[in-house]
Amino acid sequence: MESDRYDSAQNEMMAEKCILVDERDTVLGSDSKKNCHSMNGKLHRAFSVLLFNSRGEFLLQKRAGSKITFPSYWANACCSHPLYLDEEVNGGIGVKNAAIRKMEQELGVQNGILSPDDFELMTRMHYEARFNEKWIEREMDYILILKKDLEINPNPNEIEEVRFFDIESLDNFIKNAKKNGNKIGPWFKLINDNFLYEWWKSLDRVMESKNLEIHKFGRVE
């Protein structure tokens, strides 16, 4: 079976029910994570958490090699999907609840440490990115900022490595990624190129930059 080629924990999560939406982010129903990401995919909600510590440093994670899509790519602290559950289907608050769930599952953040009020919902972006002929991302991505010092214990099935960066060192890391053999997740590249540095330079008043319009980027590499 094709599923036998993949890590058992990652394969099990492919049955989770993602939230299907249209291009205006209206909920249409649900489908499995597998169906949302395979072949031509289906547009569904996702989220990306941008984590800053009290020194203003930004966390990158290197996705585990066991991930089915974009294994061993570098991306933001946590990127996943709200599920078709009562507590996660309701727009911004649902996405924040999903982020809390995944921060525990991926980064080992202890249950009860985070609340929805810790997250700032900054904007949404609609993009597509093909990993290979089998797998694709088609996402309505909610971008969240989290400013907090956290004890992190990465789940090795999800994350291979984490690093904190200041602005200059992250800029150098991204610019030299290809030369140094580092791969960058396409959703994070969009965030990095279009939003991150403006927000980073004004973290103390970052909500002034909040804009919940949907930024449409189409298909990206």
Q: Which residues are tagged catalytic?
A: 79, 139
The residue type found at 188 is F
- Nearest CA to 189 out of 76, 102, 82, 50 is that of 76
Where are any strands of DSSP class E within the chain? 17-21, 27-32, 44-52, 58-63, 73-76, 78-80, 119-130, 136-147, 159-165, 183-184, 214-220
Q: Could you give the CA distance from residue 77 to residue 105 in angstroms, rounded to a whole number?
A: 12
Contact residues for 9 (Cβ-Cβ < 8 A; gap 6+): 66, 157
Q: What DSSP line would sit under 151-171, residue for residue?
A: -----TTTEEEEEEE-HHHHH
Q: Is 210 helix (H, G, I), strand (E, B) or coil?
A: coil
